[in-house]
Structure 1
Amino acid sequence: MLDDDDEKTVIDPKGLRYKSKSAGSPFGGKGAFVGGTMSCLLCGKHRPQAMLKSRQVLGRPQKVCAPSCKELDEILAQQR
């Protein structure tokens, strides 16, 4: 017989969703861009879209930190 903890981690027959997994994103909101954050292609940190700019990387426009990852980290550190 399974105890309650084991039952929470059984995969649902309709898909690969665990019963114990909380719904939603760690970045808040529902949907792709409701939270208003995206990750920078260069540093990988999630930033509000207002802090990102579009830049050509490998021939395609990609979102990166503006003015740069290092400068943005310094600005945010001063505000804290």
Structure 2
Amino acid sequence: MAKDSTKTTIDADGLRYRSKAPGSPFAATSSFGAATMSCFLCGKHRPRAMLKSKKLLGKSQPVCAPSCKELEEQLGSKS
């Protein structure tokens, strides 16, 4: 079952995709503290202020603070 290949052409401005939104979902920010990182345990991207360092497998890893489950509940109740 091969995937159907779509024909694309390169426009004069260099863009190839029409259906894909330009840019990254993790926009570059000017301040280091506003950047996002992924939690080592749940894998979701969070602002650095919502993460803490925890020593896992002999190395400090960013994890959700206070925990992945509690943070998800807090963010879910705000919406």
Flag structure 2 segments of 5+ consecutive residues without an equivalent: 1-6
What TM-score do you get using the length of structure 2 for normalisation? 0.68
The correspondence of residues 39-50 of structure 1 with structure 2, limited to 5 A, is 39-50=38-49
In 2, the alpha carbon distance for the partners of 1:43 and 1:19 equals 34
Match in the other structure for 1:52: 51
Query: Moved runs in structure 1, 4+ residues, more than 4 A?
Result: none
Flag structure 1 segments of 5+ consecutive residues without an equivalent: 9-17
Letter in 2 for 1:50: A
Q: 2:37–2:46: 8 Å Cα contact kept in structure 1?
A: yes
Match in the other structure for 2:78: 79
How many residues get paired? Answer: 67
State the 1:19 CA deviation.
4.3
State the 1:7 CA deviation.
2.3
Cα-Cα RMSD:
2.8
Identity of aligned residues (%): 53
